[in-house]
Amino acid sequence: MSQLQFETPENVAVSYSSAGLGTRYVAWFVDQILVWFVTIVLIISLICAGASFEGVGELFREGAEEGSSKAILYIIGLMTLVWGLGSFVYFGASELFLRGQTLGKRLSAIRVVKADGFALDAQSILVRNIFRVVDHLPLLWIVPVLSSTGQRLGDMVAGTIVVAEENVELSSVRNQLAERSALESEFRFDATSLARLSEMDLHAVEQILERWNQLGDEQRQHLIVTMLPPLCQKLKVEMPPIERGVHFLEDLLAAELRRQRRSLG
């Protein structure tokens, strides 16, 4: 895995590791199991529903062999159509609403971000998922292997990259804040405000809190003064007093961890 470094609008450097091809394959395999399961259920339901229509029955009355061949071709065509549309909707909707993740990616602790480190937008998601069909061609399987960051063709065109999520067990800050209740928080953030933040924003907040005790007073002051104004503007909340800046960041990360826990359900 290669190390990628980005700079947030708050002038804080954050780093990610590109996701390994093996990890991406596991995530893809899990997602395909889900898509194929839903596809098969839908096909069976459509066949059962269509069996009552006269046109479907005629496929089998034209002659046992000829009718069966036609029925198989129709089923294969229908399955391909349902799988293709289902994949497009599943991957697109998941990456849009789960901030660059699908269920398979979440289980594998990887995420799609833009090549500049920012969160995905609808246009990038649309482009990379349109090219997903092309990326299934065996000839193009070599592209991620040759790419230094493991990008497939769809990633290159859409300007996206798949990165590994930081191991939660290695983050002492997460361990400390994961169980903090809203009642213990000095600053409150609703789901609408949290949704305005990119994954890189949250990663920057976590990295600052993680090494807070190793920073000198001057460095702390500089980070708070630099980071809080654009962060508050993005959240659309009032700027806290500078001396309460670190508590603001702690409550922000704690609120996001609670939101993630609720979404995992």
pLDDT tens sequence across 139-184: 888 898 888 888 899 999 999 999 887 654 445 777 778 778 888 8
- Domains in the chain: boundaries: 14-164, 168-264
Structure-derived torsion over alpha carbons of residues 165, 170, 171, 177, reported in degrees to the nearest 10: 110
Q: How high is the pLDDT of residue 140? A: 87
Q: How high is the pLDDT of residue 88? A: 92
Q: How high is the pLDDT of residue 237? A: 92
CA max distance for the chain: 86
Q: Look at 33-37, 164-168, 201-205 and tell me which has the smallest mean pLDDT.
A: 164-168
Answer whether residue 191 shows pLDDT above 50.
Answer: yes
Q: Look at 47-51, 146-150, 174-178, 219-223 and tell me which has the smallest mean pLDDT.
A: 47-51
User: What percentage of the chain exceeds 90 in pLDDT?
Assistant: 27
Report the pLDDT averaged over residues 27-52. 85
Cross-sheet strand order for the sheet of 3-7: 3-7, 13-18, 160-164, 110-114
Q: What is the pTM assigned to this prediction? A: 0.63
pLDDT tens sequence across 110-142: 989 888 766 688 899 999 999 988 888 888 888
Answer whether residue 29 shows pLDDT above 90.
Answer: yes
* Four-residue CA torsion sign, 221, 222, 227, 230: positive
**pLDDT class for 55, splitting at 50, 70, 90?**
low
Q: Look at 125-139, 193-207, 216-230 and tell me which has the smallest mean pLDDT.
A: 193-207
Q: Quick count: other Cβ atoms within 10 Å of Cβ 220?
A: 15
**pLDDT class for 69, splitting at 50, 70, 90?**
confident
Answer whether residue 264 shows pLDDT above 50.
Answer: no
